[in-house]
Amino acid sequence: MMRKENGSSEEGFILSGFSDRPLLEMAISVFVFFFYLFALSGNSIIILLSGLDSHLHTPMYFFLANLSLMDLFYTTSNIPQMLLNVWGPEKTISFLGCMLQFYFAVSLGASESILLAIMAFDRFIAVCRPLYYPSIMHFILYLRLVTLSWVGGFGGGLLLFLLIVRLPRCGHRWLDNFFCEMPGLIGIACGDITSTKFAIYVLLVIFIILPLTLILVSYGFITWAVLRIKSTARWGKAFNTCVSHMTVVTLYYGPILFRYSQPGNSDSGDQGKFLMLFYTVVTPTLNPLIYTLRNKDVKGALRRLVQKKHCSKQT
């Protein structure tokens, strides 16, 4: 248990959000609420289809279902507490609640980062080694890869959690954001935390920069292979195979790289708040749309599920 002067569970934290602009905050909360509902429904549909439709029992859709599951958990670990603070009488969160919110957010973020790198590797094998794809991406391998993403992400999140929870706060409780996120928690720390910051940067490199590098390398090889394809039909098929994943990668890494480029900044500012809202609400909502709008297999599975339910009702 932390000492009381460092921000104990008895004191907790104050999540200010846009408390100085209540009308803007209320409008944002309504926007967030509806996007949260869309994120829940969209990602649940992806998980349901991947499990029920035999046509989607492939590595790519197994990875996609796990991505949707991570997005579901991530939004749920943040949004209900945010809405409770905005619509309720207080804007406080307990020390334990704040630390748990932070832990699950960074763990799921790290897991998703690893999973996106694994999905890039899957696309690399599918495009550059299509004949060997069934033998390489067998069930045991992609099950181990997904397990690696979950275990690795939560293991890395635990290390970050242990570093953050030990920071001296000298009674500082005010977090200028809607969530208990790392830049804000580092920003209210007091004393010399240089070694802690260095350790945090190392972990960020391992769980953000390294997976992003692997993704870029994979797509470098994919681009080279696609440029050598003379058939327009095969080129289009290879492009469609990768474009959805590339879009999701951009939506994921864009806000997070910008936000965590200066983790020691205690004042997130309006830009930081909107970036975190985008990353927490909008990105998990867009991910299932990106995969379904451009994917004939998912749309076909959804059509078959609707037809099956319709036929069952008639009988």
The label of the residue with tokens 């406080």 reads 92
* Domain extent at residue 60: 4-314
State how far the alpha carbon of 179 is from the alpha carbons of 204, 207, 250, 296, in Å: 19, 21, 22, 37
Cα-based angle 309, 310, 315 (whole degrees, multiple of 5): 95
Task: Return the amino acid letter for 270.
Answer: D
Torsion angle (degrees, nearest 10) of CA 206, 208, 211, 217: -110
Report residue 52's pLDDT band, with 50, 70 and 90 as the boundaries.
Answer: confident
Report residue 257's pLDDT band, with 50, 70 and 90 as the boundaries.
Answer: confident
**CATH label of the domain that carries residue 58:** 1.20.1070.10
Give the total number of structural domains in the chain.
Answer: 1
- pLDDT tops 50 at residue 7: no
Among positive and negative, which fits the CA dihedral 137, 141, 143, 144? negative
Mean pLDDT score, 111-139: 91
Give residue-wise pLDDT tens across range 154-188: 999 999 999 998 888 887 788 888 888 888 888 88
CA distance 213 to 221: 13
